[in-house]
Chain A
Amino acid sequence: MKKTLLVALLLLFVGSLHAQSGQVLLNAAGATFPYPIYSKWFDEYHKLHPNIQINYASVGSGAGIRQVLAGTVDFGASDGPMSDEQLAQAKMKILHFPTVLGAAVPSYNIPGVNAELNFTPQALAGIYLGTITKWNDPAITSANPGVNLPGNDILVVHRSDGSGTTYIWTDYLSKVSDAWKNKVGRNTSVNWPTGLGGKGNEGVTGLIQQTPNSIGYVELIYALQNHLPYGKVKNAAGTFVKADLAGVSAAAAGAAKDMPADFRVSITNAPGKTAYPISSFTWLLIPTQIQDATKREVIKGFLHWMMTDGQNFAEGLSYARLPRPVVEKETKAISLIQ
């Protein structure tokens, strides 16, 4: 009895000692959209600087925004830019720092259909509004001649948590469908007319994988890593484009030149023949006033690394690099962090 008590006390003591001196620990939370590359970045950065640990929790953009507003994390991440109301709630100014560009793709699991499907904006809006309910609906088959689509019910999958990927998807649908814009709108969390909710990009991918006849929207790398088929989407110029680095970079080309000072910009349904219409920047949400000087320097150091060496990891994970003009603007913005 006494022995176990001693052991317990010892463990308690050791547990508290575990905090080594010189170690800098940062906590961040937010978007699942860029989680594959963020987890790679923070891991690589830790290897370069073993005393720096940046713990990123992939909990969705909504949670990232909330936690950075509440001050329970050192910085956040979101692919849905914070609204003016949300920024006004913050005790201090919060900056958006674009990190990479990604694409939300319509991924599906239709037994017997391995072909790449073409989706028109109307088809996607209709599916998510619940007006198009079967795979062999004319709105889908008309864009896919030669593909034998079954008459099964479409099982729609969306996000159950507050999500920047949802923001990107609903932003796109609001631009291409008035019905969607009026009925549902764009936000990180909306009142979905139909469908199942998965938690995070991970959860949605998991549901698509396990549910035949399903369709869902996920970031490109999730579909690729898990070998899920994903369709081409018709862009504003009328071409069916499959999401890839070139398409995403083309979508960002216009915005790169006219990037607003706070970096909040939407590049969905971008003009251009090769542009992929459901692309987006994703941002780190950094407070401008960081009291802890060590943490501040670490964050600034990481941002510098992220915009230079870090970008080299992007393409390997199918994210597009930041355009040069954006990087230049961002480097200047780092000095705003005090």
Chain B
Amino acid sequence: MSVRTIWRKSVNLVMLSLTGACAAITVAFLFFILGYLIYHGGKDLSWNFFTKLPTPVGEAGGGMANAIVGSAKLLLLASLIGVPIGFFGGVYLAEFGGRTFSFLVRYTTDLLNGVPSIVIGIFAYTVIVLPMHQFSTLAGGFALGVMMIPIAVRSTEEFLHAVPTSLREAAMALGASKWKTVATVVVPAAIRGIITGIMLDLARVAGETAPLLFTAFSNRFWSPGWRQPTASLPVMIYNYAISPYQDWHRQAWAAGLVLLGLVLVANIGARLILSRKTMLQRT
């Protein structure tokens, strides 16, 4: 074996091990994040955390009950905006669209997807907060809803395309009109994928903080209805993390754990649903 071959073989070994190390490091990041949050956040997940309102500055014992409910309301509102537009937009692109208009729609959807979240916050502020003269759950939900649209469109279109043409043709052969085919055959066939896409979308906007900073703002109390500012988990984490109070830091860790937990459960759940779906198709 020549020197050159030995060299090439060693380079081969070293470089391939390095790539393995890269993958291991990246995987380690996730476990580190999760582990750290479980360790620090788990300590402070108490009944207080889930049921109490924040206490005055410097006093211990407060909780994030209003932030949890606030986030839930924001997500509900976001899905009311993001899901219909995303779903029907995706249906249009997959089933009804003409060539040029579809291209335009896809192009703008991509454009919208690339808008930084803080810019969406500016948009919601100028379009909703200013005319209403009020920070509100409505503004925050609107901002999050707009952020949901591109991914909802894309995943709906993708899963509708994946439905085999034979199903469509069969329905038409039986005399169904276009909309009936779509509504009763194509969409139900793709529904699992569409729902998981929306779940993932929701998980993504659940963690968004920047658009809420000047739309939903914050609230120390319960936020009734939709026209008042509201606390939300991500914004509370941000405010508490940059503060000097140890008690607030502990609550930030706990909230971080709750948020990450929800996001991860949604992602893992979505993946499981999808893989079961493909298993069914194979049989």
Contacts and interface: CB of A to CB of B under 8 A. Distances in A.
Interface in B229-243: 229, 239, 242-243
Given A43-B56, A199-B242, A70 B130 contact: yes
Contacts of A57: 217-219, 229
Nearest to A67: B135
Contact of B225 (A11, A18, A199, A200): A18
B80 to A, nearest CB: 8
Contacts of B134: 27, 72
Given A27-B134, A39-B57, A20 B76 contact: no
A169 interface: no
Taking each of B76, B129, B243, which has the highest tally of chain A beta carbons within 10 Å of its own beta carbon?
A: B243
B73 A15 contact: yes
Interface stretch (A112-120, A148-156, A203-211, A304-312): A203-211
Given A25-B228, A55-B228, 14 more contacts: A12-B80, A16-B226, A20-B224, A27-B135, A36-B57, A39-B56, A43-B56, A55-B220, A56-B220, A57-B219, A200-B242, A203-B243, A208-B244, A221-B58
Interface residues of B, number: 31
B133 interface: yes
A8 interface: yes
B245 A43 contact: no
A208 B55 CA distance: 24
B244 A209 contact: yes
A71 B133 contact: yes
| A interface SS class | helix
A266 interface: no
B213 to A, nearest CB: 9
B221 interface: yes
Chain A residues touching B, range: 35 or more
Contacts of B219: 55, 57
B244 A19 contact: no
Contacts of B221: 46, 53, 55
Given A8-B76, A70-B130, A225-B245, A19 B220 contact: no
B222 interface: yes
B138 to A, nearest CB: 11
